[in-house]
Amino acid sequence: MGERESGGKPGLFQVVWKVLLALLVLAGIVCWVLFWWNRFTLTVELEGEESVLHQYGEPFQDPGVRVTLRGTELLMEGRELSHADIMVFGGPNVEQLGRQNVTYHVRFLFWEAEVHRTVTVTDMISPVITLTKAPDFIPARGPYIESGYQAYDNLDGDITDRVKRQELPGKIVYTVVDSCGNPASVERKLPVFKLVEPEITLSGGDYWAIPTGTVFEEPGYKAKDDMDGDLTEKVQVEGEVSWWQTGTYPLVYSVTDSTDNTTTVTRNVEVIPREWPDTQWPEGKTIYLTFDDGPGPYTQALLNVLGAYGAKATFFVTDSGYGNVMREIVAQGHSIGIHTVTHDYGKIYASPEAFYEDLTHMQQIIFDETGVWTTLMRFPGGSSNLVSKRTSPGIMTTLSTSVRDAGYQYFDWNVDSDDAGAAHDAQKVFENVVAGVQNKAVCIVLQHDIHSYSVEAVENILQWGQENGYRFLGLNENSPGFHHDVMN
């Protein structure tokens, strides 16, 4: 094949390239001519005021700027530029008082422009004056005694010492100005005068006496005021009567009327001890059989044995549900005494109030069942118990005296059958009782009629006792108590 000659006509690509190059040069020349002919300018205008006041400490919300490109021939109305590069210098420090400049610098292509705003940070909030509430009335004529006030400013803090106080007819005007010149003013209307205070009348007088162990019941009171009328329901009573412990207890009654006049009176309540009965020792050798925690399912059999031997005993009873047996105990001439309602040590010895609540409750149960109002009692665990120390340290020291002041006679024991301990059969109970009784002229024996083996031992005890010259009697208020050493 023949070869193409190098001196031939240029190709199509070369022609197109040269045409485009020529057009590009022409466009550049046209743009250059238009640029100098149109004279474009970049303007920056503030949104909002050029000079603004701003509250000290409040966040500054910058209004911003508006950027526009204008030409002398083209874009004469201008074109707003939303994507121009805007830099802000000197944003105001709202924690610093005074004038501060904010500069907005804008760049767009070949143009730059800037504008300034003046922000004056100042305090425009007035201080607050707070008046302490004064009474609407005062009890006697005389100069008004200032109830108090306080002034506080958001910038200066406590400015109470700057407050000026001016007394005018019927009022007092309080004024203050903060460091930025913001003023504040309040008025206090002067109170009127009231000459009569409320009156409290105590039913029964200002002295009242109750026996130890008797719950104090308020005798009553009334209160009235010359303006407010009956104020009895507003009387406040302070103080407490420890009715289980002798002494004099002040109760303070106070009432305040609508004009803040207060009247106070005192009633002294004396808790008086009852006279303790004299102890009378029995003649001859005597055994007092005592049974705790019943009645129970074996108590009736016990009563039958006691009846067969003509012996008397004492039953310190609980609320065990055997009311018919309680009646039988009394009907057969035995002594009945208070032990406890529940035998719950934690509840009974929680406080003196709790103990007396249990004591008087059981006393009422015995009375309801038998018609006998007994004052004989035995502490659960005896007066020397230590279990009460867990819930109320020192309570037995209080109770061992206060129950006698309250008219009760408590009994411990000097012979323990140990039927609530290691003795689990009738023979052992019998041996323990005999060993404890020997060489003693008068004995109080502790047993529990809720244990069958303890009840079974009674007949042998009765036989041995009678053979050895002992009488079996029930306790009364004059019987010896054989009180233990109190350990709590």
Q: Where are the alpha helices (DSSP H) in 171-322?
A: 299-308
Question: What would the pLDDT profile of 126-135 be if each residue is shown by its tens digit?
Answer: 999 999 887 6
In this prediction, residue 162 has a pLDDT band, given cuts at 50, 70 and 90, of: very high
Between the alpha carbon of residue 20 and those of residues 64, 344, 367, the distances in Å are 45, 113, 129
199-272 is classed CATH 2.60.40.10: yes
In this prediction, residue 80 has a pLDDT band, given cuts at 50, 70 and 90, of: confident
Cα–Cα distance measured from residue 327 to residue 337, given in angstroms and rounded to the nearest whole number: 13
- What are the CB-based long-range contacts (under 8 Å, 24+) for 143-147? 144/172, 144/190, 144/191
Structure tokens at 283: 């003649």
Give the pLDDT mean for 84-96. 85
Predicted structure pTM score: 0.57
Burial class, 224, CB count within 10 angstroms (exposed 0-12 / middle 13-18 / buried 19+): middle
Question: What would the pLDDT profile of 290-347 be if each residue is shown by its tens digit?
Answer: 999 999 999 999 999 999 999 999 999 999 999 999 999 999 999 999 999 999 999 9
- Candidates 3.30.1490, 2.70.98, 2.60.40, 3.40.50; CATH matching 128-193: 2.60.40
Q: Which fold has domain 286-472?
A: TIM Barrel (3.20.20)
Neighbouring C-alpha atoms within 13 Å toward the C-beta of 225 = 22
- Candidates 3.30.499.10, 3.40.50.970, 2.30.30.90, 2.60.40.10; CATH matching 41-122: 2.60.40.10
> What pLDDT does residue 206 have?
95
Largest CA distance in the chain: 169
CATH 2.60.40.10 domain locations along the chain:
41-122, 199-272
Which residues carry out catalysis?
292, 448
Tell me: cis bond preceding 380? Omega within 30 of 0 counts.
Answer: no
CATH 3.20.20.370 domain locations along the chain:
286-472
Neighbouring C-alpha atoms within 13 Å toward the C-beta of 392 = 18
